[in-house]
């Protein structure tokens, strides 16, 4: 994946694509729901996934 740095004015119409394998490097909307929720087991699982200790849950059938 290519790293792109911009101040926002240089190329405002450029599309930045994320590699799905890099999901552990950022927090998405589903992660925020877990972080703000009260399910301790889900929070610990997310924390371990982001640290690379667990494989992400397979949601392909969901």
Count of structural domains within the chain: 1
Do the domain assignments include residue 7?
no
**Structural domain of residue 42, as residue ranges?**
23-50
Residues comprising the chain, all counted: 62
From 1-5, 12-16, 21-25, 45-49, the region with the lowest mean pLDDT: 1-5
* pLDDT tens, position by position, 17-54: 767 666 777 888 889 999 999 999 999 999 998 888 99
The stretches of the chain forming alpha helices (DSSP H) are: 29-36, 40-50
Higher pLDDT, 29 or 16: 29
Do the domain assignments include residue 56?
no
Do the domain assignments include residue 35?
yes
State the Cα–Cα distance between residues 54 and 46, nearest whole angstrom. Answer: 9
Task: Name the pTM for this structure.
Answer: 0.59
């Amino acid at each position: 994946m290519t790293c792109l740095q911009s101040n926002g004015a240089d190329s405002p119409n450029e599309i930045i694509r994320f590699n799905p394998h890099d999901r552990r490097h950022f927090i998405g909307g589903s992660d925020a729901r877990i972080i703000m929720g009260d399910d301790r087991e889900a929070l610990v699982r997310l924390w371990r996934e982001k640290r690379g200790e667990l494989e992400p849950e397979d949601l392909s059938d969901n």
